[in-house]
Amino acid sequence: MLTLFSLQTLVLVSYFFFMTRTSHASTLGSPTDPVIQGLLDQCLNNETIYNAFSVAPGFEFGRCPHLIDCIMTSSSEAAKAGMSAGSNIAALIPTMLALIGGSPFELVRLAFLSPFRALATCLFGVGLPTNLFAQLQRHPQPSSSAPIEFPASVHHGVLQFAFLLSVPRRRRTVVFRIALDVSILFVAAIMLWRNWRVGTTTMVTWRCEWRWLLFYWPFICIAWWLSAVGSLCGMARKIEVFRESDKSQSSWRALFMMSYSVRKESKVTKRRADLQKKETKTNARSQVQAPPVLSTPPDDDPTLIVRIEFRSEAHWRWWSTAVQAAAVAIYLYATFVLCSVLFLTGNEAIAYAVTMASSLSAIRIMTALI
């Protein structure tokens, strides 16, 4: 688990340094659009344009507003309408990802089972729960919502959730799950690449010299996830992992490896299975109704419980409030940035939105299959 987490961290850090080096590239608009590229070349290399402005157009601080004025003045109305449509479509992306993505509690819960799946899920947004800030109510209503939502309250400061895991019985199942994990990382890389491509070809109107505003979106989400899980571990008095059947203690490593370990049946289980087969054959010959199937012994119980004991219920309320407020702030940041992008055509915005929404949907589907 540590090796996989370190590898993903290395990839993300490499992406960060790569994007900071390319965020000031002298390009705008789609490289395949001859109109915008011609206007960009004209505004940067034409001395007549230089004389028309008090400061020469460029990408640096104080010069990029003149570059925007130059390009927009020379653009046709159709091109301006396309850019307006592109920014409107891009502004819907954070809302689409918030609807598709996992809620804050689900992402924190998933961290105990698979950290890199949780990172891939929250890479470009955190879903907002329907019971947002319900834990601040003085008398919270009983909730019948799914466990992916934040509980309105915890009993005596104890938060508890269960993982009913399907332990593989064959090696092919383990190989299939590993292939799904690799596919999840590949799809997350596609989302990073598409975000980098859009970030290098657009400008934000209110901070045109800051070409890295869109690049910081995934890193803000990762910082949110790390701080949420880290503060949860820091504010908890005790965190336990145990089996539901016999209350025997387990560990995070066992919880993580449970999905990739082939279940070895005990001698008692094999003996019961053999007796069941013999009784079935005997009853079939004598045409007597077969007895009920014997229950699975406790040793093979695949349910693990994670029990988090907070120092007090107030710690739980403040932690969950801070986590949800930060998720709302991330949503607003992404919305404001994408609402203000320039030089993003309608076709590019549609490709951007479809790629991000379909990629996150694929990640959610593959995570559910594991």
pLDDT tens profile 264-286 = 655 445 555 555 666 666 655 55
Question: What pLDDT digit, counting tens, does each position of 31-61 carry?
Answer: 777 778 888 888 877 656 555 556 777 777 7
The per-residue pLDDT of the chain, averaged, comes to: 76
Give DSSP secondary structure letters for 333-348: HHHHHHHTEES--HHH
Is the pLDDT at 349 greater than 90? The verdict is yes
Rounded CA separation 370/368 (Å):
6
Rounded CA separation 215/209 (Å):
14
Of 16-20, 113-117, 233-237, the one with minimum mean pLDDT is 16-20
Contact 244, 228 (CB under 8 A): no
Give the list of residues 6+ apart from residue 109 with CB closer than 8 angstroms, or none. 147, 148, 161, 306
Banded pLDDT at 13 (limits 50, 70, 90): low
Give the closest residue to 159 by CA, choosing from 224, 109, 234, 231: 109
Q: What is the pTM of this model?
A: 0.76
Is the pLDDT at 236 greater than 50? The verdict is yes
> Mean of the pLDDT values across residues 66-91?
88
Using CA atoms, how far residue 141 sits from 134, 145, 347, in Å, is 9, 11, 46
